[in-house]
Amino acid sequence: MADKTVLLGQIVAEQEDFAALLRGLTDEQWAASSLCEGWTVRDTAIHTAWHIHLKRIGPVPSFGYARDVSQFLLLGGTKFDARQRERDGARSNEDLIDWIASPAEPTLTNLDELMIHQQDARRPLGLGRVIPADRLASLLSYCMSPIGDGGLGVGCGSYKLGREFHLVATDIGWSGGQGLEVRGPGEAILMAINGRSEATDDREGSGVEILASRLAAHANRG
């Protein structure tokens, strides 16, 4: 179980990094394709801001959460995503940045959303960054656990994709799992087990080809 104080600090820092990225984008970059299939950088930012502000279900569920979940189940993911982007697409860039940066629910799933979707925007734009090791290691461990499988979030089945591999992040001293070895920068490992095939050249080891074949079956969607 993640320390809530530490986790909240990591989420706030990731929000600040995402907001700083968005503040520096041109109109053309906002409209560029992200790694999420069919989504622009702006679409990806809208989805991320929406997701990290969902209220967790408790004794009295948030009406907004309940409404969005019911619409998601009724319409299906693709139709809901389209309506969500239509609903929030009228926001100005400044409002969207403020939304990304405003207080979010302190969960590892939300840290996952923030980090991976920021990379979904950065990679196609060629705007790399060095992700702090503590945030990256936290997410790698989470994504490689059954609870971090991502079936209802950004993960695209990270536990299933990473299963049967020994994953080694060569830059931050993290490793996890058992099986054929896949080595590479922690960010590339994280993106791979979350369904992103674009970092293939950054990985090596006896399990790379098998992992690549699994990735080929997955579309990069939120």
Encode pLDDT of 3-34 as tens digits.
889 999 999 999 999 999 999 999 999 999 99
Query: 84-109: per-residue pLDDT in tens?
Result: 777 787 899 999 999 999 999 899 99
Query: 136-194: per-residue pLDDT in tens?
Result: 999 999 999 888 765 444 445 787 888 889 999 999 999 999 999 999 999 999 999 88
Residue 196 has pLDDT above 60, yes or no: yes
- Residues with Cβ < 8 Å from 185, sequence gap 6 or more? 169, 170, 171, 202
Can you tell me the distance from the alpha carbon of 200 to that of 189, in angstroms, rounded to the nearest whole number? 9
Query: 36-84: per-residue pLDDT in tens?
Result: 988 999 999 998 998 898 865 444 344 444 445 444 444 344 555 667 7
Query: 53-65: per-residue pLDDT in tens?
Result: 886 544 434 444 4
Per DSSP bridges, beta strands 165-169 and 180-184 are parallel
Beta partners for 204?
Answer: 183
pLDDT score, position 212: 87
Q: Please state the pTM of the whole predicted model.
A: 0.84
DSSP 76-145: -HHHHHHHHHHHHTTS-HHHHHHHHHS-----HHHHHHHHHHHHHHHHHHT------HHHHHHHHHHHTS
H-helix or E-strand spanning residue 201: none
**Assigned token pair, 152:** 């209802």
pLDDT score, position 75: 36
Q: Which residue has the higher pLDDT, 9 or 216?
A: 9
